Amino acid sequence: VAPGLKPVNDDFRIDTATQLCAVIGNPVGHSLSPHMHNAAFRAAGLNYAYLAFQVEDVARFITGMRAMPSFRGCSVTIPHKEAVMPHLDSIDPMAAFAGSVNTITREAGDSLSGRSTDGPGTLRAFADAGVALEGKRVVFTGAGGAVRAVAFAFADQGKVGALTLLARDPAKAARLAAEVSDKTGVEVSVGDLSADIAGALDGADVLVQGTPIGMSPNKDASCVPAEALHPGLTVFDMVYRPHETRLIRDAKAAGCPVIHGIEMLIAQAALQWEGWTGQDCPVDAMRQAAMLQLQED
């Protein structure tokens, strides 16, 4: 091996039979997805490789993807989650409601399907953590894309009892609440994030933190007052950088069961991986790869 080059791992080959997957976005430089998906391909012994593509023109990218039969699928990230939709052959109902696609899969017959794994992935993360949602009262902070996907999944498939959406712009929360309620029949109330959070958490079973508050570099920020947390509340923070957010630390100190943001990231990625390969995902390999990267942050 020439000086400065790393030896190629014996168990990782790229050849003419290699199947390709990728994340597309702009930028894609900080994505954990290549680490996670490639670790799972290696653990499963699959001849697949996953790359990160900075894409400027979505329509031309999809045309290129269609022309390459070994291109099995893509993760789609900001700013392309909506822009890819008109270029795909089918969109699943969850993605249609969320108005965004985070996964493209090459189906039999070479058609390209779009779906959103954020909602189903979060349901899977809760199931894996042993936290039942049926009949529960769930409070969300934020009213952006991720909350939209997860709130609909919780209402439609999680069969929650009632939802509360708290946002700094209550009118935005009210628009999302009306849509979720209309489409699922679940009761959804809304409020102002800072004024109403303590009251909303009183008697709630689950908190889903869906704003970027607490994300690096603002690691000491939290939109939830520590005194509003109680042991009957399961706390899930979508933020995964850092792994232990201020909210997660406060929740542990208050005796709350917690679910880290990385569990959503892993579960939604595992659903993508399973769609592309047709196999069960070796989730532990994905988790190990993600945690290694987070430690290096």
Active-site residue set:
81
Shortest reach from residue 3's CB to ligand NAP, in Å: 39
Q: Which residue from 138, 146, 160, 285 is in contact with ligand NAP, where contact means CB under 6 A?
A: 146
Q: Is 103 one of the binding residues for ligand NAP (CB under 6 A)? A: no
DSSP 24: E
Whichever of 55 and 143 has its CB closer to ligand NAP, that residue is 143
CA 286, distance to chain mean position in Å, is 14
**Judged by CB under 6 A, does residue 172 bind ligand NAP?**
yes
Write each residue from 208 to 247 as x if it is in contact with ligand NAP (CB under 6 A), else as -, in one continuous string. Answer: --xxxx-x----------------------xxx-------
For residue 75, the minimal CB distance to ligand NAP (Å) is: 11
Least gap, CB of 132 to ligand NAP (angstroms): 21
Shortest distance (Å) from residue 147 CB to ligand NAP: 6
- Write the CB contacts of 5 (distance below 8 Å, at least 6 apart in sequence): none
Two tokens at 34?
């290549």
Which residues, 6+ apart, have CB-to-CB distance to 55 below 8 Å?
Answer: 24, 25, 26, 61, 80
How open is the CA angle 114-118-121, to the nearest 5 degrees?
110
Could you say which of 39, 49, 95, 167 contacts ligand NAP (CB under 6 A)?
A: 167
Tell me which of 143, 233, 281, 294 binds ligand NAP, using CB under 6 A.
143
* Binding to ligand NAP in span 2-41, by CB under 6 A: none
Q: What is the 3-state secondary structure (H, E, C) of 222-276?
A: CCCCHHHCCCCCEEEECCCCCCCCHHHHHHHHCCCCEECHHHHHHHHHHHHHHHH
Tell me: does residue 282 bind ligand NAP (CB under 6 A): no
- Per the listing, tokens 């999944």 go with 153
Contacts of 214 (CB under 8 A, 6+ apart): 221, 222, 223, 237, 239, 245, 246, 247
Of residues 168, 232, 165, 246, the one with CA closest to residue 202: 232
Closer Cβ to ligand NAP, 105 or 211, answer by number:
211
Nearer to ligand NAP (CB atom), residue 229 or residue 294: 294
Greatest Cα pair distance in the chain: 64
The least distance separating ligand NAP from the CB of residue 97, rounded to whole angstroms, comes to 15
188: contact with ligand NAP by CB under 6 A:
no
Q: Which residue has the tokens 């942050």?
A: 297
Residues from 257 through 276 that contact ligand NAP (CB under 6 A): 261, 264-265, 268
Can you give the binding site for ligand NAP, defined by CB under 6 A?
A: 118, 142-147, 167-169, 172, 193, 210-213, 215, 238-240, 261, 264-265, 268
